[in-house]
């Protein structure tokens, strides 16, 4: 039985799909509009409809509830989350430190930029079959490292593990809802809850559609669709490892997309048998089998063609399991996160070895970066003119260009600064 379809290189372009489907966008729009108009009443109705919290339970929890969940968590689980949090924070702090203010000489004065965090960050974490505390850590810690004054975590159902992770991340509030109505609540606010400035974090199709709808009302990190893994391999790659990594991706959910692009023709057949063998003992095999149908295997004629295929797909996660993997990685242009060499499992990125696991999907890695402190920062530029005589040539150019554009008030404004 073929678990992963085998397709030809020329068929790859047909596999590119939009991140947000039209019918989902329409459904999400109805939810978002209702929350925008009705506020808390709509949020309560959706929370009850989706079994997130009953009418007598609070929608928003504070630090005390998060701390209580943390205290009650199994100590070994708590320690693992703390260690992951420390690695995530170390990487995020290093990113923040790499972004510096700028001061530059300009004619007659100085110009530059300052770095300003947004005040309020909304951090979304899914909770479908299982809570995802890793997403709570990835979003909340990154917002804190950026310097946000208020961090809100939203996750459906207020699972104790998610609450504990929110405490570790330093969240101020916990919104006990999910889906499109949670995104709308973060974007518009409601009675007793202030809106956020930026919304970040992965989610299902309705979450992603809602993020698209509120863009411009708030900032968002990206439109993240179903999770993807593409493995570039050659004949040196171990098939058991390839199968294990593809299944780790496939068990995410039934929409996940596992892909193998290889120069080794025998992989197209051997991977099928190995996947079947590992599925026999995998507790999440039912989900993984469905997800494997979304993926495929492509056999390329050369490493050059394999890299070209990968760049065309611009995957969320890219593993490179080849000889001289560093050289291959240096030639790749489009990927959300790159995992170099056979020892570098993509799952290390999922669970907090350092870089963020919230990454662009659906080919958007061609122009979009993964979540970082930059999503919560603004570069605010400034100019100060101290020496009008030295600035005079720039004023003359300003006046001439203003006349070219027919903006005479602009010309006159500049003229006022010309020294006598």
Rounded to an integer, the average pLDDT of 17-32 is 92
The strand ranges marked E within 88-195 are 102-106, 109-117, 120-124, 150-154, 173-175
Question: How is 21-57 classified by DSSP, letter by letter?
Answer: -HHHHHHHHHHHHHHHHHTHHHHHHHHHHTTS--TTS
- C-alpha distances in angstroms, 143 versus 59, 72, 352, 402, 411? 22, 25, 15, 41, 43
pLDDT digits (tens, 9 = 90+) for 45-84: 999 999 998 888 999 999 999 999 999 999 999 999 999 9
How does DSSP classify residue 200? Answer: E
Selected catalytic residue, list 181, 252, 267, 317? 317
- Determine whether 280 is an active site residue: no
Q: Dihedral through CA 60, CA 63, CA 69, CA 73, nearest 10?
A: 140
Domain 226-370: give its CATH superfamily: Nitrogenase molybdenum iron protein domain (3.40.50.1980)
178 close to 199: Cβ distance less than 8 angstroms? no
pLDDT digits (tens, 9 = 90+) for 161-202: 999 999 999 999 999 999 999 999 999 999 999 999 999 999
What confidence score (pLDDT) does residue 147 get?
Answer: 98
Residue 112 has pLDDT above 70, yes or no: yes
Residue 254 has pLDDT above 90, yes or no: yes
CATH 3.40.50.1980 fits 22-220, yes or no: yes
What confidence score (pLDDT) does residue 349 get?
Answer: 96
**Within this chain, domains 22-220 and 226-370 share the same CATH topology:** yes
- Confidence tier at 130 by pLDDT (50, 70, 90): confident
404 Cα distance to chain centroid: 44
Length of the chain: 420
φ, ψ of residue 22 in degrees (nearest 5): -60, -45
What confidence score (pLDDT) does residue 214 get?
Answer: 98
What confidence score (pLDDT) does residue 273 get?
Answer: 95
φ, ψ of residue 380 in degrees (nearest 5): -100, 120
- Confidence tier at 224 by pLDDT (50, 70, 90): confident
Residue 20 has pLDDT above 90, yes or no: no
- Confidence tier at 16 by pLDDT (50, 70, 90): confident
- Confidence tier at 220 by pLDDT (50, 70, 90): very high
What residues does 215 pair with on adjacent strands? 218
Selected catalytic residue, list 89, 316, 319, 346? 316
Rounded to an integer, the average pLDDT of 368-379 is 97
What confidence score (pLDDT) does residue 210 get?
Answer: 97
- Determine whether 316 is an active site residue: yes
Query: Domain spans of the chain?
Result: 22-220, 226-370, 387-415
The reported pTM is 0.94
* Pairing outcome for strands 120-124 and 228-233: unpaired
262 Cα distance to chain centroid: 27
Residue 1 has pLDDT above 70, yes or no: no
Residue 9 has pLDDT above 90, yes or no: yes
The H or E element containing residue 380 is strand 377-385
Q: What share of the chain is helix, strand, coil (3-state, %, to 5)?
A: 50, 20, 35
What confidence score (pLDDT) does residue 376 get?
Answer: 98
10 close to 312: Cβ distance less than 8 angstroms? no
The percentage of residues in the chain with a pLDDT greater than 70, rounded to a whole number, is: 100
Q: Dihedral through CA 355, CA 210, CA 217, CA 116, nearest 10?
A: -10
The CA distance from 244 to 255, in Å, is 18
Q: Which of 189, 230, 226, 186 is nearest to 208 (CA)?
A: 226
């Amino acid at each position: 039985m073929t678990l992963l379809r085998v397709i030809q290189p020329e068929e790859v372009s047909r596999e590119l799909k939009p991140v947000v489907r039209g019918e989902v966008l329409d459904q999400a729009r109805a939810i978002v509009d209702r929350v925008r108009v009705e506020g808390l009443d709509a949020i309560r109705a959706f929370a009850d409809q989706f079994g997130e919290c009953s009418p007598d339970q609070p929608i928003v929890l504070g630090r005390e509830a998060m701390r209580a969940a943390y205290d009650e968590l199994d100590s070994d689980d708590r320690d693992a989350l703390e260690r992951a949090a420390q690695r995530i924070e170390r990487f995020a702090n290093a990113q923040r430190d790499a972004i510096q203010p700028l001061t530059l000489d300009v004619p007659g004065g100085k110009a530059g930029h300052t770095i300003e965090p947004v005040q309020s960050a909304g951090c979304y974490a899914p909770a479908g079959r299982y809570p995802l505390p890793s997403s709570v850590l990835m979003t909340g810690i990154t917002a804190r490292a950026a310097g946000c004054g208020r961090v809100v975590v939203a996750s459906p159902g207020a699972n104790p593990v998610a609450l504990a992770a929110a405490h570790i991340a330093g969240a101020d509030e916990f919104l006990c809802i999910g889906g499109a109505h949670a995104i709308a609540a973060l974007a518009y606010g409601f009675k007793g809850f202030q809106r956020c400035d930026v919304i970040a974090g992965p989610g299902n199709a309705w979450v992603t559609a809602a993020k698209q709808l509120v863009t411009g009302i708030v900032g968002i990190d990206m439109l993240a669709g179903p999770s993807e893994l593409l493995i570039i391999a050659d004949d040196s790659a171990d098939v058991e490892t390839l199968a294990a990594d593809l299944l780790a991706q496939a068990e995410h959910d039934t929409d996940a997309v596992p892909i193998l692009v290889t120069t080794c023709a025998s992989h197209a057949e051997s991977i099928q048998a190995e996947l079947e063998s590992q599925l026999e003992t995998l507790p999440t095999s039912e989900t993984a089998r469905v997800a494997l149908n979304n993926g495929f295997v492509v056999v390329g004629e050369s490493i050059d063609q394999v890299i070209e295929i990968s760049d065309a797909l611009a995957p969320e996660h890219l593993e490179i399991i080849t000889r001289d993997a560093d050289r291959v990685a240096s030639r790749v242009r489009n990927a959300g996160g790159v995992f170099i060499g056979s020892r570098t499992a993509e799952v290390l990125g999922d669970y907090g070895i350092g870089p963020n696991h919230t990454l662009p999907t659906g080919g958007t890695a061609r122009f979009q970066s993964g979540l970082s402190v930059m999503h919560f920062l603004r570069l605010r530029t400034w100019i100060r003119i101290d020496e009008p005589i030295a600035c005079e040539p720039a004023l003359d150019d300003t006046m001439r260009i203003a006349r070219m554009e027919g903006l005479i008030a602009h010309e006159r404004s500049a003229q006022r600064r010309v020294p006598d």
